[in-house]
Structure 1
């Protein structure tokens, strides 16, 4: 049992080191845009196509659900106009970057993992190395930057869609005035909240793409290995996103305590 536990721990540390090594190697040649720009454009178009509609479908009912729960409680306390602030602040600070990252990891990341795994099975990655082409620079770098950019856009879309969903429920169904809804939201938000949210979305998107590419490049050379790599990539990306979100949010709240 100790040997088995030690082997798993050693394997986890090795995989973590390889993950960071691939990430640093991918960022190292970021300046050489000519070698990966068109792949970047293609990945941006692909990620936007497969993630935009799911994000909207998730954010609209999410905003309405938060408005329902918060509005009911606020109505009992006689502060129903504060529902808009609770909905929008929750979307901006926490929901938007996490939702964007989870959609990127689940929809786009799984496709990245399967693509990289298929290339590994067909020995395309080895062929690129034989031709003196670094597969990390050519394939991983554009996917990391594409995922980070699309994740920031998706976070903005989550905020907009969730605010619309909360507005429809809170204003049209619960009778709160539009002015009170938006005044409560804008009164609690700060510019730093938006900047931190976009920064988290950028980081989470890059992490999701990096994990997906790493799992695909290191998978077993069989169709079953590719399928297992897709499952592992999704789970690991979710765990890293939640861990980094906790650390970043804690540091931010210590530096800038929430305004009441």
Structure 2
């Protein structure tokens, strides 16, 4: 079991390395399939943009209500903006991005490549001397590298704006206090860290989806199994990576205090 898991992880890392290598080489030699990358970028953005906003709104409301209630009880209502908005910025937005990438983008990629695999289209590419890592996976990795940070920014904006509205309109908070406390505690480091985590999560999601799709077999049932495995594995992997990244940031990045 352990040996099989390590071997699978090795194949995944090899697939990502080879695909990114081909992508960098083709960009340098002007042979990169930009039309395919653009098509995948617009597709990823189309399937994830609206769900991101719909997820960020209730997420911002929940955090604002819970944090606002707690800060009111301890007499620190002026810190509601810092606590709520930082929760969205540091943890909520990257994790929500990972969930959306896994549920919307990852499932679509796994289904697409799985269907191509069971129809022997991937084997046909290999027969013609075309590496699937170069022609199929590299454009998708580039697409998710563009889309994932944008989705994270959208979630941050919608989540913080929703929290601001709830705090000011329903919890009696002061607009200037909410914005001021957030500005005192949040910095560019927090934003860059959130975007970096979203970038990593997006690459992991698409890489796992591509790997599971290329390994699909057994007809429609095999494609369904590949999609299910891709979503579950990508979400679990994103949570584990988020735990590791958060621990590293807490060890090496100093938190701002006022």
Same fold (TM over 0.5): yes
Match of 2:20 among 23, 27, 39: 27
Matched residue, 1:4: none
Q: 1:125: Cα distance to partner?
A: 0.7
How far, CA to CA, are the matches of 1:194 and 1:169 in structure 2? 23
Matched residue, 1:164: 161
Matched residue, 1:176: 173
How far, CA to CA, are the matches of 1:184 and 1:61 in structure 2? 22
Matched residue, 1:82: 79
Matched residue, 1:109: 106
How far, CA to CA, are the matches of 2:130 and 2:43 in structure 1? 24
Matched residue, 1:217: 214
CA RMSD of aligned residues (A): 1.1
Matched residue, 1:195: 192
Secondary structure in 1 aligned to 2:217? Answer: coil
Match of 1:144 among 141, 144, 147: 141
Q: 1:205: Cα distance to partner?
A: 0.4
Deviations 1:203-234 (A, max 9, x none): 11011000000000012231111101111111
How far, CA to CA, are the matches of 1:76 and 1:125 in structure 2? 60
Matched residue, 2:246: 249
How far, CA to CA, are the matches of 2:61 and 2:133 in structure 1? 42
After the TM superposition, which of the residue ranges 12-21 and 165-174 deviates more from structure 2? 12-21
Secondary structure in 2 aligned to 1:212? Answer: helix
Aligned length: 253
Deviations 1:225-251 (A, max 9, x none): 110111111111111111111111111
How far, CA to CA, are the matches of 1:216 and 1:60 in structure 2? 32
In the alignment, structure 1 segments of 5+ residues that lack a partner are 1-7
Secondary structure in 2 aligned to 1:195? Answer: helix
2:23–2:32 CA contact under 8 A, matched in 1: no
Q: Structure 1 length normalisation: TM-score?
A: 0.94
Match of 1:239 among 236, 239, 245: 236
Matched residue, 1:42: 39
Q: Structure 2 length normalisation: TM-score?
A: 0.95
Secondary structure in 2 aligned to 1:35? Answer: coil
